Chains A and B, each alone.
Chain A
């Protein structure tokens, strides 16, 4: 029999061969499944309380402001067991992070990050107003703060952004705000000035449900 005289494949659906030869090299990108998220539960205060949590900018930092706010549930009640985390640029638009491709910034007294709880009825974060940050398309974003909200009853954190009412011009130009469907949605992201800084309330549900982002 001629070994090169190979009979045709039998008719039928194509059956891919299972298994790969063991070269040890990956033929596709390695991809591990990420660990699923879970609620912080009601006892987050045990593990997630820091004495300096509220201080994104140290006490006495020039231009320091307090961002205060409450978190509301779908019944309009204040959520007293939530945790709010904030992350933002410094006034020059730089991040104190080695992952900033422009190099980590170092702004006196500023660490960009705060963690606050709502035990008293509201959260409070001491910070300085961020500067404008490149938007990736050659423009600049309006000053903003990224926010995570954690609580019993949230199986995953929810993410929103704080913008500032006294930055109307920059806000009108901002790529994220412009992409929102209407002005009511935009308004849920705007912090309003107060005597010592800004107020930013978060509505988890309801008529005034805050815009949350998938990141």
Chain B
């Protein structure tokens, strides 16, 4: 029975949660916006049933090949340092997740988002909208070409600047594998004062930071960063019982 619940002969996988001590909490007082928004009551445990172990199929038709290149939009080249961001989408059992929709959004090289609410005095780039989409290949790999985002001030506290980051949204195979996260860059001096980064328990913070990828850096064109994303895996599949008495 390990890892499955029986639903009238149906074997439903059970997706394992990360231990509480390694999960980002829903609220974190130093991140001020959580104050009135993060629920205060303990969530009720919901055992996984069919609704939780299934998930939508979000196919290729939602994504065009050019969506993976954020550096060329509206007929021109975006300004900034080109970077190739690549990696794999895996589950916590180490299995690749093929066909997963990966959506990204980010600020431009000056640290400004193309959004009506973002009006701090950094220039907009007419050739950068900050939106990308890719679907993982059969080995769970993704990659997109973009511009390294800038840091930006965000008013959480005096002189608060967010470290450079790219937002990621992922669908795995199941409702329980849904993930929204942020990818950071190595050795950012702003980590220490950023409550969104520091809300991640210390032992798990390195999982949010990409690695400089010399092997994929393109000569005379772009730096590269590698970042693997791990979604929740199913509990280990139980071994079938061997009934023939062979115990060798």
Of the 9-residue stretches B51-59, B75-83, B213-221, B240-248, which lies at the interface with chain A? B51-59
Known contacts: A87-B56, A136-B5, A205-B37. The answer to whether A36 contacts B207 by CB under 8 A is: yes
A89–B49 alpha-carbon span in the complex (Å) = 12
Tell me if B8 and A134 are in contact (CB < 8 A).
yes
Interface residue? A195 (CB, 8 A): no
- Residue in A74, A88, A96, A100 whose CB lies within 8 Å of B36: A74
Residues 1-26 (chain B) with a chain A CB within 8 angstroms: 5-8, 10-12, 15, 17-18, 22-26
- Residue in B26, B178, B204 whose CB lies within 8 Å of A33: B204
Residues 32-59 (chain B) with a chain A CB within 8 angstroms: 33-41, 43-58
Residues 135-154 (chain B) with a chain A CB within 8 angstroms: none
Interface residue? A180 (CB, 8 A): yes
A155–B25 alpha-carbon span in the complex (Å) = 7
A-chain residues with CB within 8 Å of residue B201 when the two chains form the complex: 36
Binary CB contact string for chain A from 191 to 215 against chain B (1 if under 8 A, 0 otherwise): 0000000000000110001111111
Tell me if B93 and A30 are in contact (CB < 8 A).
yes
Residues 143-168 (chain A) with a chain B CB within 8 angstroms: 144, 146, 148, 150-159, 161
Min Cβ gap A81→B in Å is 8
Give chain A's interface secondary structure class.
Answer: loop
- Residue in A35, A74, A87, A213 whose CB lies within 8 Å of B43: A213
Residues 1-56 (chain A) with a chain B CB within 8 angstroms: 29-48, 50
Interface residue? B124 (CB, 8 A): no
Tell me if A157 and B180 are in contact (CB < 8 A).
yes
B contacts with A, residue count (CB < 8 A): 86
Min Cβ gap A149→B in Å is 9
A contacts with B, residue count (CB < 8 A): 75
Tell me if B56 and A214 are in contact (CB < 8 A).
no
Tell me if B231 and A44 are in contact (CB < 8 A).
no
Candidate in A40, A96, A136, A212 with the most chain B CB atoms within 10 angstroms: A136
Known contacts: A35-B208, A36-B23, A150-B180. The answer to whether A97 contacts B54 by CB under 8 A is: yes
Min Cβ gap B26→A in Å is 5
Tell me if B12 and A101 are in contact (CB < 8 A).
yes
A36–B229 alpha-carbon span in the complex (Å) = 9
Min Cβ gap A118→B in Å is 12
Binary CB contact string for chain A from 120 to 139 against chain B (1 if under 8 A, 0 otherwise): 00000000000001111110
Tell me if A36 and B175 are in contact (CB < 8 A).
no
A43–B208 alpha-carbon span in the complex (Å) = 19
Known contacts: A48-B103, A213-B44. The answer to whether A97 contacts B27 by CB under 8 A is: no
Interface residue? A176 (CB, 8 A): yes
Candidate in A47, A135, A156, A210 with the most chain B CB atoms within 10 angstroms: A47
Tell me if B103 and A155 are in contact (CB < 8 A).
no
A176–B49 alpha-carbon span in the complex (Å) = 10
Tell me if A135 and B173 are in contact (CB < 8 A).
no
Interface residue? A73 (CB, 8 A): yes
Tell me if B54 and A99 are in contact (CB < 8 A).
yes
Tell me the nearest residue of chain A to B114, going by C-beta: A46
Tell me if A37 and B10 are in contact (CB < 8 A).
no
B-chain residues with CB within 8 Å of residue A148 when the two chains form the complex: 175, 178
Interface of A toward B, CB cutoff 8 Å:
29-48, 50, 73-75, 77, 79, 85, 87-89, 95-102, 104, 111-113, 133-138, 141, 144, 146, 148, 150-159, 161, 176, 179-180, 204-205, 209-215
Known: A99-B53, A101-B12. 17 other contacts (CB 8 A): A30-B93, A32-B93, A37-B179, A38-B24, A39-B196, A48-B169, A87-B56, A88-B51, A95-B54, A99-B54, A144-B51, A148-B178, A154-B38, A155-B196, A179-B44, A205-B37, A215-B15
Give 11 CB contacts A-B under 8 Å. A32-B94, A34-B92, A34-B230, A35-B208, A38-B167, A48-B103, A136-B49, A155-B38, A205-B37, A209-B41, A214-B43
